[in-house]
Amino acid sequence: MADFNYNLLNHIDFPDDLRKLKESELPMICSELREFIIREAASNPGHLGASLGVVDLTVALHYAYNTPYDQLIWDVGHQAYSHKILTGRRKIFSTNRLFKGISGFPKMSESEYDAFGVGHSSTSISAALGIAVASGLKGETDRKVIAVIGDGSMTGGMAFEGLNNAGASNANVLVILNDNNMSIDPNVGGISKYFVQMQTSPAYNSLKTKIWKALGKFKWIGPLARRMLQQQQQVLKSVVFRQSNLFESFGLRYFGPVDGHDVVGLVHIFNDLKAIPGPKILHVVTKKGKGFTPAENDATKWHAAPGKFDINTGEVFTTNSDVPESPKFQYVFGKTIIELAETNEKIVGITPAMPSGCSLNMMMKVYPQRTFDVGIAEPHAVTFAAGLAVGGMLPFVNIYSSFIQRSYDQIIHDVALQNLNVVFCLDRAGLVGADGPTHHGIFDLAFMRNIPNMTVSAPMDQVELRNMMYTAQLPGKGPFSIRYPRGNGTVIEWKKDFQEIPVGKGRKLNEGNDLAILSIGYAGNFVVEALEKLKSEGIKCSHYDMRFVSPLDHEILDKVAARFERIITVEDGVIDGGFGSAIAEYFASSDKKPSILRLGVPDRFVEHGTQEELYRECGFDSDGIIRTVHELIRH
């Protein structure tokens, strides 16, 4: 940024510039990169802690490898800020995650250095293997392919599928395990414990250090012997651990663990590894948030910067307002599930590695034996819930809408087919904002509504969320999906007595004769706002909050069709196959066939921006609804 002097970074636009530096200058460029990222995130919050932890690793990779010819794939990609800065985007990095600016994740259409578009976890190994095999088939035997995957993403089943396939191949692929014992929340499960054992074994590390130092005393044979030790560490590990190395069992040659913040040491290791053919894995130990004390001390809070902050103290700036703030939907979920669990001992909570993000951490504190973080393993989370349901429990599975896509087969086969009472609470449904198309939860209404036995619902506010959660845990409800958006709701006084909502029944919110507007979920608030403005023009429309996409309220639809020739549907989801399509399908098979205009997310991938900017771009914010009403009335 303009108010800080970056002696080296200001002269680096691409990795070719980086490779002109002396090795002794690499620690300085790492320091400047960290300063740059911290200062940028202070005014434009993004994935701070995740990116700070891999600065040294990123510099070493671009210094040692011939990118973009050598292909570098980041798993998830939220840690790739220094990668973006070093690959032609430093001068426009201030637009990161902003509307019409650069993406917060690697994106193939944005740069040739982004070898694979990412956003969801555990995909990098499979993608890297595919690229490596393709290179081999084309005779590009000198091309190196590197996948960087975190230990959190390594808990995902797809990562092991990739490892299994890679180990059985002769592909020239390097997997770098970035091990910081974190994803967003602390990692859980046997894999995490295994990594900790490997990197902290006093016996192994002590013996390795002693041998390394001893070899260094020999002037001529020492360097060669050290390289041989790096290449034959499995013998040493077998002596100490007395068990097979997990990755060696897959058929990959294992190296490490090594210090992920020794940039010069990493460069030497990469140069050595380039000479070793076939699939291999390097275990790198890093610290999330490295270089920014608040992020080092609270990696969960600073995984992504929680707001604009003071770069010296880490104090997050807040806006002072006398207007009471409506709580976030996820907060209301967290409080509500505790209330329900107090009176229904069958209720258990499940989340795939997002307890703080979805607020299930609240239940973890009160009912630790009834709350489960299963790691980044969405398919497992769903079938685990199915097993719990068979065993007599009532699972609430909280998964971001974008991530539930990864467990679609399990929803159909293991839950719905067997008509099990599993409640899916889909957080971050609809357009989520700055994380962009990989994280928008816009498909769930469309892909959930066509599953037999599945109740598909969407609350308009926090009170409705509470009542839907209450309804879903009543006897005989079967599979039940509740979707709600990222961020704050519209109701301040949300904690009210529970009321059962009749499944498949909507409600009328406004009376008018000009036309009918049918909405689902949070987008209904845009309709309320639009109708309030239209009232001053003398335009009055009937507004129905349908609440459910499956089953639909046929009684309301029949009444609407009897009164109105023109209907507008509004949803924060894809138009094709979604709520509006369900309405159109119903009327297509009835005697009454009103004209239907559907508002929602168009048939394309919507980029990043604030939620308000994206609602406006897609045309279903209050102004877009008003324009549509004017057009229909005018014609």
Place of tokens 């994206």: 614
Q: Order of strands across the sheet with 145-150?
A: 71-74, 145-150, 173-179, 280-285, 253-259
Place of tokens 């303009």: 2
Positive or negative: CA dihedral 271, 277, 279, 281: negative
Give the pLDDT of residue 223: 58
CATH number of 9-201+246-297: 3.40.50.970
State the Cα–Cα distance between residues 517 and 620, nearest whole angstrom. 12
- Provide the token pair at 511: 């009376």
- Provide the token pair at 259: 């210090």
Q: Exposed/middle/buried for 461, CB within 10 Å: 0-12, 13-18, 19+?
A: buried
The contacts found for 194-199 with CB under 8 angstroms, 24 or more apart, are 194/246, 195/151, 195/154, 195/283, 198/241, 198/256, 198/257, 198/283, 199/257, 199/283, 199/285
* Residue among 79, 69, 223, 220 at smallest CA distance from 146: 69
Do 9-201+246-297 and 329-483 share a fold? Answer: yes
Tell which CATH classification among 3.40.50.970, 3.40.50.300, 3.40.640.10, 2.60.120.260 matches the domain 329-483.
3.40.50.970
The contacts found for 376-379 with CB under 8 angstroms, 24 or more apart, are 376/121, 376/122, 376/152, 376/153, 376/155, 376/156, 376/183, 376/352, 377/155, 377/156, 377/157, 377/352, 377/353, 378/352, 378/403, 378/404, 378/406, 378/407, 379/157, 379/406, 379/407, 379/409, 379/410
Active-site residue, selected from the candidate residues 280, 406, 483, 486: 406
Give the pLDDT of residue 234: 52
- Provide the token pair at 230: 């790096």
Please, what are the averages of pLDDT over each run of 10 residues along the chain (635 residues)?
75 97 96 94 90 96 97 95 96 94 95 95 95 95 94 89 92 93 55 50 54 58 57 53 69 90 95 92 92 87 84 83 82 97 97 92 96 94 97 97 96 98 98 95 97 98 98 97 96 94 97 96 97 94 98 97 95 97 93 91 96 97 97 86
Active-site residue, selected from the candidate residues 288, 290, 466, 486: 288
* Residue among 313, 265, 271, 275 at smallest CA distance from 292: 313
- Name the residue type at position 105: F
Positive or negative: CA dihedral 166, 167, 168, 174: positive
* Residue among 231, 241, 149, 129 at smallest CA distance from 194: 241
- Provide the token pair at 260: 């992920």
* Residue among 353, 484, 361, 445 at smallest CA distance from 76: 353
330, 427 in Cβ contact below 8 A?
yes
Q: Where are the alpha helices (DSSP H) in 44-156?
A: 48-52, 55-64, 81-84, 124-137
- 148 forms bridges with which residues in the sheet? 74, 176
Q: Rounded to 5, what percent of the chain is helix, strand, coil?
A: 45, 15, 40
- Provide the token pair at 145: 């392919």
Task: Provide CB contacts within 8 A for 252, sequence distance 6+.
Answer: 163, 166, 167, 175, 279, 280, 281
Give the pLDDT of residue 222: 59
State the Cα–Cα distance between residues 242 and 17, nearest whole angstrom. 46
Q: Please tell me what DSSP assigns to residue 178.
A: E
Degrees (nearest 5) of the Cα angle 252, 210, 193?
45
State the Cα–Cα distance between residues 110 and 560, nearest whole angstrom. 47
State the Cα–Cα distance between residues 66 and 146, nearest whole angstrom. 11
Work out whether strand 516-519 and strand 566-574 pair parallel, antiparallel, or are unpaired.
Answer: parallel
What is the CB neighbour count within 10 angstroms for residue 238? 13
566 is known as an active-site residue: no
State the Cα–Cα distance between residues 281 and 125, nearest whole angstrom. 11
Q: Where are the alpha helices (DSSP H) in 44-123?
A: 48-52, 55-64, 81-84
Q: What is the DSSP secondary-structure string of 396-448? A: EEEEEHHHHGGGHHHIIIIIITTT---EEEEES-B--STTGGGT-B-SHHHHH
State the Cα–Cα distance between residues 151 and 179, nearest whole angstrom. 5
378 is known as an active-site residue: yes
Work out whether strand 507-510 and strand 542-545 pair parallel, antiparallel, or are unpaired.
Answer: antiparallel
Active-site residue, selected from the candidate residues 32, 35, 40, 378: 378
Give the pLDDT of residue 17: 97
Regarding the domain delimited by 507-634, which CATH topology (the fold level of the hierarchy) does it fall under? Rossmann fold (3.40.50)
The residue ranges of DSSP E strands in 359-405, in sequence order, are 371-373, 394-400
Place of tokens 């390394």: 212
Radius of gyration for the alpha carbons in the chain, expressed in angstroms and rounded: 27
Furthest C-alpha separation in the chain: 94
Give the three-state DSSP class for 555. Answer: helix
Q: Which helix (H) or strand (E) holds 464?
A: helix 462-472
State the Cα–Cα distance between residues 467 and 496, nearest whole angstrom. 9
Domain ranges of the chain: 9-201+246-297, 329-483, 507-634
